[in-house]
Amino acid sequence: MPRDKGKSVIATNRKARHNYTILETFEAGMVLQGTEVKALREGKASLVDAFATIDDGEVWLNAVHIAEYGSGTWTNHAPRRKRKLLMHRREIDGLIGKLRDGNLTLVPLSMYFSDGYAKVELALAKGKQAHDKRRDIAERTAKREVERTLGRRVKGM
C-alpha cells in the first residue's frame, strides 16, 4: 500500500506562539505503538501543556495526549505516556548546550504525518512575560488597523 505523499497536520499547539518566543525549530520523528498511529490517523491528539526534555542524551516528549484507539483491545496504549523522539546526534548535542546555557525550553508546535511517518515540530523557545504578550497584541492590532485603512483607501472610501 503506497504511503500518502505530502504533509497532513494532526494537531497544533496554538498557545505556544502566544506564550513563547520561538528561537529555532526542529523536526523529529516519534517512536509510537501501533494503536497510537491509528489514533493519530483519526486525528485524536492534543498538544496542550506538552513539552520535551532531554534525558541521558535522548529527547522525550511529555504530556502529549493521544486518545485510546476505539477499536483497540487490551493492546491499547496509555494516553499520556512519555514518547521517545528521533533526532540526529549533532542536533541533540546542540540542544543540550543551548538548554543548559539559558532559561530556554523545548515546546512542540505541531504534530503531523510526512510521507506516512509521524513527525513533531519542536521549537527552542523562551517564555514571554505578560508585558511582552500585551506588546505583541498591540502590534497586531495596529497592523490590522493600517491594513484596513489602506484597503479602504484603495477602494476609494
CATH number of 7-129: 2.40.280.10
> What is the residue-wise DSSP string for 41-59?
HTT-EE-TT-EEEEETTEE
Whose cell is 483491545? That residue is 73
Helix (H) or strand (E) holding 61: strand 58-62
The mean predicted confidence, pLDDT, of the chain is 87
Decide: pTM greater than 0.85.
no
User: Domains of the chain: which residue ranges?
Assistant: 7-129
Q: What is the mean pLDDT of residues 58-86?
A: 85
pLDDT value at 49 more than 70: yes
Q: How far apart are CA 22 and CA 16, in angstroms?
A: 9
For 93-111, write each residue's pLDDT tens digit.
999 989 988 789 999 999 9
CA distances from 81 to 2, 59, 67, 155 (A): 30, 14, 11, 55
For 129-148, write each residue's pLDDT tens digit.
888 888 888 989 999 999 98
